[in-house]
Structure 1
Amino acid sequence: MEIPNLLDDFDSDNFTQSVVAHRVSSNIQALETVYHRHEKGQLVMPLTGCVTCTIDDAIWMVPTNCAVWIPSQIAHSNLITSNTDVCMLFVDPAVKDIPTQSCTIAVSPLLRETIIRLAASDQDYQPESRTARLVSVLIDELVSMPKEHYDFPIPSEPRLNRIAQAMLAKPHERHCVDYWAKRYAMSERTLTRLIKQELGISFSHWRRQLDIVLSLKKLSADTPVQRIAEDLGYESVSAYIHFFKKNLGLPPKQYIKQHFSH
């Protein structure tokens, strides 16, 4: 079944306003944008469900109460699952202090509600209007939000690309770097150096990023913690909870309560 383009009728660059917003709901089937870029930077903020963004050579999972920022002219595509409601904010790159790199942004209640309000407004607003004043508050809140990098890089280097695709397909198989080195006829040292050269991180960090983005996706879909631990190949639920708290600051159940309650 063909997936429709979720922004067929909306082009942020057609507006002279420096900040505009658009809201999309997917009631039955998944929706996606084709791989594209635009002048305005884009904030993707799910209100319910989860969005998967492919930005350059990385996959970003965007759960409820988080958002992903995509800077101006960065190639990307967005896939939203069925029964998902998402707001997209578009910001001119000349706006002061907006992020210049892709990142995950925590969404405060104020930021969430102002983006929703803007998306429901006439986007062709005047500079001194009530909507323009709302936008000023929105930008002040946006640039002050905490920023993280919850992405899973997909390298273009053929061997690393195949490793990335294999880990995505079977995340429960927790193979070490030595396994992958042997599989692609390299020494462990050579593969370790290649990963560092291509990604700027270690193999363990790369794998950790996969666990984080898949955890966020599964938590936003109300998957039980025990099931997530099994899906990601952890030996026990306690081992998974330890990993989650170490990297995200809270145990999964507390994180769910703070980030996914509506």
Structure 2
Amino acid sequence: MTQIQVDQFEYDTLSQPAVALMLEPQRNDSESAVHKHRKGQLVVACCGGIVCTVEDGVWMVPSGFGVWIPGGVAHSNRVTANGQVCFLFVEPGAASLPDRCCTLALSPLILELILHLSGQAQDYPADSRTARLAHVLLEALELARTEQLYLPLPASNPLRTIARALAQDPANRATMANWARHVAMSERSLARLVKAETGLTFGQWRKQWQIIVALQSLAEGQSVQRTAEALGYESVSSFITMFRKTLGTSPARYLRNTVGLT
């Protein structure tokens, strides 16, 4: 699998408050090696989707959203085959942004400003028009709302075993009792471990996993029916109900609202 190479741009050496890079289209369907930046990084899905992985979690970035990664946090990104990704690098202290990774809902203004910035010379002077636009962008970004498109990854071996199994077979509907036997634990001990490491019940954690898989499938252009089948739902309607309860909208409306920008 081809790796996304962004270190050649040496954005960390620039002192500008915000600099942007539009990834070349031929690099789609690729995954980066684990890396980190001095600057904070916003990974923006212009179309398709991106899966961002850090040590303790996975973020899904559908079109129109971005995942914020503070400076110094090791991460890797995978872009879906039909995806188009843009990176925004933010100088430490240039904006009041979260000190933890999170998914941000990006307004049309923010998205257009990022796309515009990516087409400008990145070593712009502090008194230039580009600098003024960069400051407007960062002020708007500070107001972006966060979304719960996040799956906490547990650290213990038993839960990592379950996570790997679910990654390989998202349609697996085994009960918590089945999983407890699989990892040689009591059901009560497994429930306590999941809560301690993820902050969620086992059912909530598995549902969040399904949402991440569903969003990736939809971002890759799969139909709602195919996505429901891949997750082991007996009917499309039950999948739609789960999706709407979790994200507040139906898959069809979600797809209409996440049309690519490029």
Whole-angstrom CA distance in 2 between matches of 1:149 and 1:56: 18
Establish whether residue 3 from structure 1 lines up as the match of residue 5 from structure 2: no
| Secondary structure of the corresponding residue to residue 88 of structure 2 | strand
Query: What are the ranges of 5 or more consecutive residues in structure 1 without an aligned counterpart?
Result: none
How many pairs does the alignment contain?
261
The corresponding residue for 1:180 is 179
* 1:134 aligned residue: 133
Partner SS for 2:8: coil
Aligned amino acid, residue 137 of structure 1:
V
Report 1:95-174 matches (<5 A): 95-174=94-173
- Whole-angstrom distance in 1 between the partners of 2:224 and 2:172: 18
- Provide the rounded CA distance (Å) in 2 between the counterparts of 1:93 and 1:176: 45
Residue 76 of structure 2: aligned partner: 77
3-state secondary structure, aligned to 1:31: coil
Of all paired residues, the percent bearing the same amino acid is: 41
AA in 2 matched with 1:172: A
Secondary structure at the counterpart of residue 27 of structure 1? helix
Whether contact under 8 Å (2:4, 2:27) holds in the other structure is no
| Alpha-carbon spacing, 1:29–1:19, altered in 2? closer, same or farther (3 Å) | closer
2:181 is the alignment partner of 1:204: no
For residues 40 and 89 of structure 1, the distance between their equivalents in structure 2, rounded to whole angstroms, comes to 10
Q: Which amino acid aligns with 2:209?
A: L
Q: Note if contact 2:244-2:250 (Cα within 8 Å) is conserved in structure 1.
A: yes
- How far does residue 53 in structure 1 lie from its aligned partner after superposition? 1.0
SS of the equivalent of 2:213 reads helix
- Of residues 34-43 and 24-33 in structure 1, the stretch that sits farther from structure 2 once superposed is 24-33
Shift of 1:4: 3.0
Cα deviation, residue 83, structure 1: 4.3
Provide the residue aligned with 1:243 in structure 2.
242
Distance 2:149 2:83 in 1: 20
SS in 2 for 1:33: coil
For residues 14 and 28 of structure 1, the distance between their equivalents in structure 2, rounded to whole angstroms, comes to 24
Q: Are 2:50 and 1:51 aligned?
A: yes
TM-score, structure 2 length as denominator? 0.94
Cα contact 1:6–1:24 (8 A) shared by 2: no
Q: Secondary structure at the match of 1:260?
A: coil
- Distance in 1, matches of 2:100 and 2:148, equals 10
Q: Which amino acid aligns with 1:104?
A: T
Counterparts of 1:127 and 1:261 in 2: how far apart (Å)? 32
Between 1:26-35 and 1:121-130, the stretch displaced more is: 26-35
RMSD value over aligned CA atoms?
A: 1.6
Amino acid at match of 2:255: I
Task: Write out per-residue CA displacement over residues 93-148 of structure 1, whole angstroms, 9 at most, x where no aligned residue.
Answer: 31232111111111211111100111110110111110011111111211111101
Once residues 200 and 93 of structure 1 are traced to their aligned partners in structure 2, the CA distance between those partners, rounded to angstroms, is 29
Q: Which fold has the larger relative contact order, with Cα–Cα distance below 8 Å and residues 6 or more apart in sequence? A: 2
In structure 2, list runs of 5 or more residues that go unmatched. Answer: none
Q: Which range is displaced more, 42-51 or 2-11?
A: 2-11
Instruction: Return the alpha-carbon distance in structure 2 between the equivalents of residues 145 and 199 of structure 1.
Output: 25
Residue pair 2:103, 2:148 contacting (<8 A) in 1 also: yes
CA 1:115 to 1:28, structure 2 compared with 1: closer, same or farther past 3 Å? closer
Normalised to the residue count of structure 1, the TM-score between the two structures is 0.94
Q: 1:261 to 1:131 in 2, by over 3 A?
A: closer
Partner of 2:12: 13
Superposition deviation, residue 70 in structure 1: 0.7
Counterpart residue number, 1:228:
227
Report the AA paired with residue 236 of structure 1: S
What letter matches 1:164 in structure 2? A
Closer, same or farther: CA 92–28 of 1 in aligned 2, 3 Å = closer
